[in-house]
Structure 1
Amino acid sequence: MSLAEWVVTGGPILGALGVTTAAISIRNARKAGHEQKFRDLHESIRREAPDLRQRVLDDCPGHWRLPGTSLLAQPGWVPEAPYDLDEIELAWADRPGPAAPSKALPAAKLGRQGTYSSALREVAGLRDLFDGTVYRLLDARLDAGGKRMTFTESSYFEYLDTSEVLAFEAVSRKRSRRRADGRRTYRRRLADPFSFANRVVPLGINTLTLRVEGDRAGFFLLDRDARKVVNNSRMLSALPSGEFTPSDRTREALANDRDLWKNIMREYAEEFLGTEEAFGQGGRWIDYENESPYAELNQAKRSGKLKIKVLGFGIDPLPWKPELLTVCLIDADVFDSVFAAMVERNDEGLLLTGRNRQGLPFDADTVRLYGEDEGTSPDAAACLELAWRFRAQLGLAGRGED
């Protein structure tokens, strides 16, 4: 075959291969660019959460807001006085179909990463995220007419894909200098933060722990590690706090752990003592009556040396996530015994424990210092503000007042 014949027969094939290779290179480059943009935006959520939250709040109707906090609430969600956690009745509903994933993510052009949860794992590198079972909140009535919450079964990734993704949409809108709830946004389509039927939301339970000794009380916070958590990363949170979930994969646990106090006790074990996290990955049913520290906490609660009260209920305006705000008052001798082996750091971050691990002073100056700091999560700030507001009803009047 002559050179001319080779060019005639083979040249176009090589040329097509060259074009195909170039197209693939361009497509890969674009994909890499989109993935880098996603990582940049996700990192911006961590850095800019206070500003993003304030932008969303500024766009909300005034009657949605809970005065004195950065949360949204309906009338009656903050009581006139704290009440016992046990007053909340829990109901169970057959599991509805999954909520539709949001349309916020496809705008990021991540190809096969069609959901926020998959993009967080595969693009942002949060490979430790686990799709555990959560108790999905369907309805909450917390007012003078009754205190009742209805739940069903769902998964953590469904929450990420239908609720937490609102934060990603908000930062994307900020970059383009547009309203977070503009036309054709996912937030506008959902419309109502107080309706839980159109998205998956687990209940966040935030407990402000107060170690009480004589005329002094001290509280504890967690400096959350951005590499370990998605919601409110790089912020100070109440200690303990976590999602309402069963402790392991078994169907027995799904029914047995449907209890707010049991969930709080598990968070105490995990966050104060560093025990292996029990949020759906385990395979062993917890014996809450006989295992430590659950047995000791239960005994203290029955004896009155530990009191767990509800301060209020609200919605984090950024991901529209419901948060139960509680306070746990523990007598010093019980606290020091149960948490003698308190860790300095747990799987989610660094514990702020104050002098001699007796807590940060529960006084006007310290409460204001942390409650008004933009680095404090809105739920933790609300717990501090409400606990201070209700200090007389909690038996803490006179401690460190102006």
Structure 2
Amino acid sequence: MNGTGTPNRLAELRQAAALTQQEVADRIGGAVTAGQVSRWERGEQAPSARYRRQLAEVFGVAVAQLGIPADGLPRVSRQRRPVEDFMGDVVQDPRVEASQDEWRRTRSLLNGSRHQLAQVAAGLYPRAVLDGTGLIAGPGWLPERPVDLAAVTLVEDPAASAPLLDGSEREAARMLPDQTLMRTFPRYTRAIRDLAPPRLFEDRFAWRLAGVDWDRPRLTFADTTYFSCVDVFEPLAHELAYVALDADGNPAGDPTLRDLPYRRLVGDPFDCDRRPVMPAISTLTIRRDGESAEFLLHRRDPRAVAAAGGMLQVIPSGIFQPSSLMPAARAADFDLWRNIQREFSEELLGMAEADGHGQPVDYASGPFAVLDRARAAGQLTVHCLGVALDALTLVGEVLTVMVVDADVFDALAWDFVDRNDEGTVVAERFPFTEQGVRGLLDSGSVAPAGAGCLSLAWRWREHLLPA
């Protein structure tokens, strides 16, 4: 029931989702409590328009399927600040709600146009564009040929200075919606958490890219956290979406850096001291069977991930971070291969994600041992293709390719999952041919990191797949 005596479906939908009232409140965030969810379900109150949208997102249904008629909704207060109604439900000032609605609209357009926007962003750095992939690469960021991953030395710099920019700058604040009439949200991550939370959105320790040197070859890293990076890279994307797209998501012209104050403030995108550069490791997995080869792709679920939702991506792919905060895990996991193995086991084999809070991973057992043995026997090779930046977000991308002999691949593929926490494993295997690779790159459906892996792997196919 609602306040007008009309039934709603909130309790039914919550129970179908196997959630408690407290879990629903936690997912909505803000000032919502379990008691308030209970009052909504009993019909003692009707949630505001904002909370109806968030409830619909939590349950994965349309707003109309909540069963709350429009005439049963509370009137919006016209006071100059948020107020509580007689039952304690917060009713937002219409100007605040309009600001938040505009932010959500822009973010929705951003997530639906990331490929297009990455191309626009790449055009801002014409000397660094990588083959129309939406990636840009700085001087010396790509090796002359693929480098065996075992030859890449990782260096951790615990004394590295904090980046100069952290997302609190005035130019970044322009991308933040109003939290009340008197203040905006303090950080972009707070706005995501409260207004448009994906299923997977948790702050964790991560390594940030501090230097690239292929002459040695060596990659240098320092400390950061996931949210510290999101607070910089998503405002950059939001700013471009706001300027480059009209209200319907169509191109609104060709912006220059003069039109993008925050991106202009960032300056040289390859200056890793100026902002936190979060690296993800993206791996093109190729099954080799004699002279033929094919590869896998992953469709990222926009309801589950904060970036590249709805796009195709190579698999496995994930942020470079330890499996646990325990010192032993941090030491063992400061390794590109271990990160690839964990993402492989999680995204393709359905193993529980190492969320940073558990025990160190036992790499001597299970699929980790299988992959290690195959690599030692020469049945699996893994190479680094270089490091680049997603032009839209300026997120770092460590581009790698793993070639697996058919018998090893097929033994593992027997247990491959169809879905994982981040999306769907595409059932079709794509031929690693010029037509197969070019068709995907031309489709605009592949995320920049995946497009970079495909483009570079095809360029260096004779090195990666020798006859």
Instruction: Say if 2:175 and 2:239, in contact at 8 Å, map to a contact too.
Output: no
1:337 deviation in Å?
1.5
Instruction: Say if 1:180 and 1:187, in contact at 8 Å, map to a contact too.
Output: no
The AA in structure 2 aligned to 1:382 is G
Q: How high is the TM-score relative to the length of structure 1?
A: 0.86
Distance 1:262 1:346, change over 3 A: same
- Mapped partners of 2:199, 2:100: distance in 1: 16
**162, 178, 182: which one pairs with 1:97?**
162
Q: Secondary structure at the match of 2:103?
A: helix
- Mapped partners of 1:337, 1:183: distance in 2: 53
**355, 362, 373: which one pairs with 1:287?**
362
The AA in structure 2 aligned to 1:129 is F
Structure with greater Cα Rg? 1
Once the two structures are superposed, what CA deviation does each residue of 1:294-318 show, in whole Å capped at 9, x if it has no partner? 0110111111100001122211100
Instruction: Say if 1:223 and 1:349, in contact at 8 Å, map to a contact too.
Output: yes
Q: Secondary structure at the match of 2:220?
A: strand
Give aligned pairs, total: 369
Matches within 5 A, 1:2-401: 22-24=79-81, 28-60=93-125, 62-67=126-131, 69-94=133-158, 96-97=161-162, 99-101=165-167, 102=169, 103-111=171-179, 112-126=184-198, 128-142=200-214, 145-175=215-245, 179=255, 181-182=257-258, 185-280=261-356, 282-288=357-363, 290-354=364-428, 359-395=429-465
Distance 1:332 1:369, change over 3 A: same
The AA in structure 1 aligned to 2:419 is R
Task: Specify which structure has the bigger relative contact order, considering alpha-carbon pairs within 8 angstroms and separated by 6 or more residues.
Answer: 1
Distance 1:109 1:343, change over 3 A: closer
Distance 1:124 1:152, change over 3 A: same
Q: Which moved more, 1:93-102 or 1:206-215?
A: 93-102
Distance 1:97 1:68, change over 3 A: closer
Instruction: Say if 1:84 and 1:309, in contact at 8 Å, map to a contact too.
Output: yes
- Mapped partners of 2:309, 2:343: distance in 1: 17
Once the two structures are superposed, what CA deviation does each residue of 1:83-114 show, in whole Å capped at 9, x if it has no partner? 20122111111254364224323444423521
Q: Which runs of 5+ in 2 are unaligned?
A: 1-76, 83-90, 247-251
The AA in structure 2 aligned to 1:206 is S
Distance 1:35 1:256, change over 3 A: same
Q: Which residue of 2 aligns with 1:7?
A: none
Instruction: Say if 1:174 and 1:180, in contact at 8 Å, map to a contact too.
Output: no
The AA in structure 1 aligned to 2:405 is D
Q: Secondary structure at the match of 2:120?
A: helix
1:283 deviation in Å?
1.2
Q: Which runs of 5+ in 1 are unaligned?
A: 1-19, 398-402
1:287 deviation in Å?
1.3
Q: How high is the TM-score relative to the length of structure 2?
A: 0.75
The AA in structure 2 aligned to 1:305 is Q
Q: Secondary structure at the match of 1:381?
A: helix
1:284 deviation in Å?
1.1
